[in-house]
Amino acid sequence: MRTLNVDLGSRSYPIHIGPKLIDREELITPHLPTRKAAIVTNEVVAPLYLQRLCATLARAGVQTIPIILPDGEIHKNWQTLNTIFDALLREHCDRATTLIALGGGVTGDMTGFAAASYQRGVPFIQIPTTLLAQVDSSVGGKTAINHPLGKNMIGAFYQPRLVLADTETLQTLPAREFSAGLAETIKYGLIRDAAFFDWLEQNIDALLALDPQALGHAIEHSCRIKAEIVAADETDQAERIQLNLGHTFGHAIETGTGYGQWLHGEAVAVGTLMAAELSRHTGWLNNEDIIRIKRIFHRAKLPMQGPALKVPVYMELMAHDKKTEAGKLRFVLLKSIGKATVKNNISIDKISSSIKTYSTNS
């Protein structure tokens, strides 16, 4: 098992990474203030891992209340969130009941938001079961639901007390979902760590083959970078914005196509290609860098071309981006592979051209 720490003073918490961690009650129980926990999961993950987690907690005398949500990004909304509150109230859950998210980023984001707001805040644990959630969404305390007009628009910063990434759960993850998680993994190399990008180029096939050593290293390294960034800028005022590389375009793709058509990681991959192109227009990345970025996404089996959305649709959707300041769009761009920066005042022509380079029929 590999263990890291997210350093946030009195709200610091461990990230444990390794196989079969779902079976380790001694890793979970120190973080429960009482012997009552609600496990929020979904209809796909429940048949795979819920019973095992309940058995683990039962061994420690913990009463568990399962809450099973419908599957998919399309359900990351108020209505589903309300079903969590309904169950918590029905089961007389009090302020010391811990909410445990068991699943991917959709489950984690919704459970975190429920934990932040139920009775003004209850303890929260993340047990991520997708690559994307293990390298990114379970760490750092961003919680949210979607709005029809914008992705993750309603939410809160609310940190978990523990992240338990059981790497064996990735064995049941569909290949398309695994690739989506690679998009966020590659992001860390692009924004901050050229050597990690090199390592990913050399090990992408091992990762796709679920090689345990390669997976452990990639998840640990990604979490280490994320933990450093979150410790330095928990609420997204400065450095943390870099984690949104490709997300301005990517969120527009997800919202514009209707949530769930494009996986988050897929939209981020195409959004990153657009951001890389914008970086090239700005005079930073060169053609060789663009080729390397395209090649690694291709090898990770990620889409290289966006949907048939027109530029004005992107512009309208991107106007809701959370990075927008005083009506001005801000983009995370790459000065080089391994070094990100945030830039505003980019001409519409350059933005438009970057979108068109990676769009179908535009």
Instruction: Count the site residues for ligand GLY by CB under 6 A.
Output: 7
Q: Tell whether residue 303 is a contact of ligand NAD (CB under 6 A).
A: no
Decide which of ligand GLY, ligand NAD, none touches 172; Cβ closer than 5 to 8 Å per partner kind. Answer: ligand NAD
Element (H, E) at 319: none
Name the residue number minimizing CB distance to ligand GLY. Answer: 243
Q: Is 232 helix (H, G, I), strand (E, B) or coil?
A: helix
Among 46, 99, 114, 180, binds ligand NAD (CB under 6 A): 180
Query: What single DSSP character describes residue 321?
Result: -
Please state, in angstroms and rounded to a whole number, the distance separating the CA atoms of residues 266 and 306.
9
157, β-bridge pairs = 142
Per CB under 6 A, does 192 bind ligand GLY?
Answer: no
Q: What are the Cα distances from residue 303, in Å, to 34, 37, 263, 267, 320?
A: 45, 39, 10, 8, 24
**List 13, 69, 109, 359, residue binding ligand NAD (CB under 6 A):** 109
134 scored as a contact of ligand NAD (CB under 6 A): no
- 240 makes contact, choosing from ligand NAD, ligand GLY, none, with CB < 5 to 8 Å by partner type, with ligand GLY
Answer yes or no whether residue 76 interacts with ligand NAD by CB under 6 A.
Answer: yes
Instruction: Establish if 136 lies at the interface with ligand GLY (CB under 6 A).
Output: yes
Task: Considering the complex, state which of residue 130 and residue 222 has its C-beta at the smaller distance from ligand NAD.
Answer: 130
**Closer by beta carbon to ligand GLY, 38 or else 162:** 162
Sequence-separated (6 or more) residues with CB below 8 Å from residue 110: 40, 69, 76, 80, 81, 84, 101, 143, 145
CB 155 within 8 A of CB 144: yes
Beta strands in the chain (DSSP E): 2-6, 13-18, 36-42, 63-69, 98-103, 124-128, 142-147, 150-157, 162-166, 331-336, 339-343
Choose from ligand NAD, ligand GLY, none: what does 126 bind? Cβ within 5-8 Å by kind.
Answer: none
Range in contact with ligand GLY (rule: CB under 6 A) among 93-101, 163-171, 239-247, 252-260: 239-247
Q: Report what 109 binds from ligand GLY, ligand NAD, none; CB cut-off 5-8 Å by kind.
A: ligand NAD
Give Rg (Cα) of the chain. 20
3 state DSSP class of 325: strand
Euclidean distance between CA atoms 115 and 305, whole angstroms: 37
Q: Residue 202 belongs to what H/E stretch? A: helix 194-208
Q: Does position 172 bind ligand NAD by CB under 6 A? A: yes
The SS3 call for residue 320 is: coil
**Closest separation in Å from C-beta 103 to ligand NAD:** 5
**Among the residue ranges 21-29, 59-67, 68-76, 306-314, the one whose residues contact ligand NAD (CB under 6 A):** 68-76
Which pairs with CB-CB distance under 8 Å and at least 24 residues apart come from 204-207?
204/296, 204/299, 204/300, 205/299, 207/182
**Per-residue contact flags (x/-) with ligand NAD for residues 225 to 264, judged by CB under 6 A:** ---------------------------------------x
Q: Which of 161, 240, 322, 330 binds ligand GLY (CB under 6 A)?
A: 240
Tokens encoding 303 = 């889409």
Partner interacting with residue 266 (select from ligand NAD, ligand GLY, none; CB below 5-8 Å by kind)? none
Residues lying near ligand GLY in the complex (CB under 6 A) are found at 136, 140, 142, 236, 240, 243-244
